[in-house]
Chain A
Amino acid sequence: MTFELTGAVRERGVDLSLHVDTAEVLAVLGPNGSGKSTAMSLIAGLLRPDSGTASLDGRVLFDLGRPGRAHVWVPPHARGVALLAQEPLLFPHLSALDNVAFGPRSVGRQRSASRAVAQRWLAEVDAEEYADRKPAQLSGGQAQRIAVARALAADPRLLLLDEPMAALDVAVAPAVRQMLRRVLHDRSAVIVTHDVLDALLLADRVVVIDGGRVVEEGPTAQLLARPRSAFAARIAGLNMVRGRREGHGVRSHDGLFVEGLAEEPVAEGQEALAVFRPSAVGVYREPPGGSLRNVISVTITELEPQGDQVRVRTADLSADVTVAAVAELDLAPQTPVVFGVKASEVAIYRA
C-alpha cells in the first residue's frame, strides 16, 4: 500500500478515509459539493484537516489531532504529490518548456538538466512542437497536455487529477484521455471525475463520496455493473430500487415492488437492491397482458435524446426507447405511462 489517508474537516462536514495501492489509479466519484475537492486539497497539503493522518510510501504526511501524539505536518512542496487541476494553470510568464521544467528546477536541478527532463515529458504528451510557446498561445487541449507533462516532470510519488477533462472541448477530451491512460500506466494516482468514461478507462478502482463520506468502493467494472449507491447507479446509467427482500423481489420503502433474479442468496426482509438497464424497460400506454412480471405505473418527467434512442425519465426510473416509439406512443412530459420489465432482466443483490 503506498498511500493512506484519514481526515476530517469539520467546517465542510468531511470525514474520509482513502487508500491507493502501488501503481493503482483510484477514481473518486460523487455529486457536486460531496467533498471530492476537499479530499484532493487534504492530500496535496493545501488544506489542513482538524484531525487525521496520511502517509505516502511509509512517510507520514500529516498526523493531527490525535491525543498524546505530536503533530506532524509536511508542507505541500515536500510531499511528492503533484496536483493537476481542471484548468491547466500554466504559469503565463513562462514558455511551455519552462513550465514543464519548473518542477525539476524547484528541487535544485540545473537549468539545462531541467530542460532536458522537460523535453522528454513534452514528447511523452505529444506536445514537443509547443515548447517555445507562451500559455496564451495554446489551445485548451494543448495547455492541458503541457500541464500533465509539468505535473509528471516533478516526478511525484502520487499524482492528483482534479477533473482534468472537465474544462476541455468535447472534441479534444478523448485524445487527452488516451494520453492520460498511457502516462498513468504503472503510476499511483487519484482522479476526481464526473465522467463514467474516465473511471472506466483510467481507473482500477472507484470510491464514491457523498456528504463528505465514502459511501461505496470497489473495482471499477464491478462497481459500475453492480452499484450500491444511488449516485453510482446514476452515473452507470442504471435503474436502482432499494428496499427489502420480499418473495421473488424487492419492496422499496415507498411500496414499489420489483421482481427479479437473485445473484446471491438474500434472506427475506434483508436490505436489498434491484438493478436493471433502461434498455430492458418497455413503455406502454395501457398495462400489457402476458408474462411480464413487473408492471409499474409512472408519469414521464423528461425526454432526453441519446443518439438514435430517447431516454424516458420519470421520478425514479428511466427507459430507453426508439424515436419512432416516442412518436407512435405520443410520449411527452406529464404523460402517464406504464413501464414493463421482465424479471429476468432485473438483478437482485444485497445492499
Chain B
Amino acid sequence: MKEIQEYEKDIASIRNMMERSAKFISLSGLSGVLAGLYALAGAAVAYFSLHYPVSPINYRTYSLQSTEAMLKLIMIATAVMVASIGTGLWLSNKKAQKHGLQLWTTASKNLVINMAIPLVSGGIFILIMLYTGHFGLAAPACLVFYGLALIQGSANTFDEIRYLGFSEIILGLISASVPGYGLIFWAIGFGVLHIIYGVIMYNKYDK
C-alpha cells in the first residue's frame, strides 16, 4: 500500500496533466502588447491617410464609400494582422523553448482550429458586406467575430482570454450602434485592449 502523500501526489498529477494537455500555455503576453501597438500604428496610418485633418472625435458628416479607401483599409488591416500573428508565433515559440515545450502541440492545434471557425466565417461575412456596399458595419463586425473566436479559443489556453473576448464583443456591439466611429473602436479593441491584456498576462505568466 502506498503512503498517503503518494495519493495526494496522484491527485496533483491528474490535475496537472488535465490542465497541461488541453491548454496551450506558451502564449506570450508580450506579443499581445506588440499586437496592440501594431494595431494603434495601423489605425494612425489609416486616420492620417484617409480622414486627416478632420478630428477623429468629431462626428463625420461623410462616410467612406470609395473602393480606393476600402482597399487601403483592408491592406492596413492585413498588414497589422500578419505582423501580429508573426510576432505571436515568434515570441510564443521562444517562451515554449524556454520551458522546454513544443510550440505545435495537440492543445495549440485545437486552439488554432477552434479560433479559425468564427474567424474564417466572420472574415467571409465581412468581405461579403464590403462587396455589397455595407461598409459601415465592417469594423464592428471585425470586433464581434474576433471576440467570438477568443471565447471559443479560451478553452485551449489561459482563461483570461475569455474576458478579452467578451470585451471585444461588447465593444463591437457599441460600435455598431454608433456609426462613423469605426476606426476609433477598432483602435480601442485591437490596440488598447490587447495592450492591457498583454500586460496583465505578462505580469501573471511570463515573469
* Physical interaction between A and B: no
